[in-house]
Amino acid sequence: MKMILLVWILCLASGMSAAKDSSNCEAAKQVAEQYIALDLLGEGTRANEKRDKLIDYRGRDAPGWDSFVLTNESRIESCKDSGKSADIVVTHKVHGTVYPADGVAISQLLSKPLRVDFTELRLNKTAQGWKIDSTTVYVPHVGVAAAKKIFK
């Protein structure tokens, strides 16, 4: 009887842990989804208060970019919870890298076949909620429609 009770308690405890892990990933994914949506709109190519609120810079300056990746689609592939942090893998279907200063036409990249790229964001649980660790912020991945509008 004691053995059955012990097994039951262990099963219950592991179920609670799995539920906690799942909710941590769900909360972290919400922040990552906001970041990805703003990124696709081209907000990673310029200062943006909404986007910056999602990132924990820890006293570091926000990075500046001289290029961006022309992206057809970005989505969350997976999430691994580590308690106070979560690692989120993002899949991107990309056309290529745009260097606006070089005058590369977006239309040239659109004729290229799509390739799949993966990036990883680490999110940390802070007193203000889940924040993206600034050291994992990647080169902006701008959607085609936004890129055409911003970089005519």
User: How many residues are listed for the chain in this entry?
Assistant: 152
Cα distances from 95 to residues 24, 92, 101, 109, 113, in angstroms, run 33, 10, 18, 6, 7
Return the minimum-mean-pLDDT range out of 47-51, 67-71, 133-137. Answer: 47-51
Return the minimum-mean-pLDDT range out of 8-22, 27-41, 90-104. Answer: 8-22
CATH class of 2-150: alpha beta
Q: DSSP E strands: which ranges in 26-81?
A: 55-56, 68-81
Whether 23 has a pLDDT exceeding 60, the answer reads: yes
**How many CB atoms neighbour CB 123 within 10 A?**
29
pLDDT digit string (tens) for 87-106?
A: 999 999 999 988 877 776 78
Q: Are 56 and 133 in contact (CB under 8 A)?
A: yes
Could you tell me the residue ranges of all domains in the chain? 2-150
Selection from 151, 147, 138, 13 nearest residue 63 by Cα = 138
Selection from 81, 74, 73 nearest residue 28 by Cα = 81
The answer to whether the pTM exceeds 0.85 is no
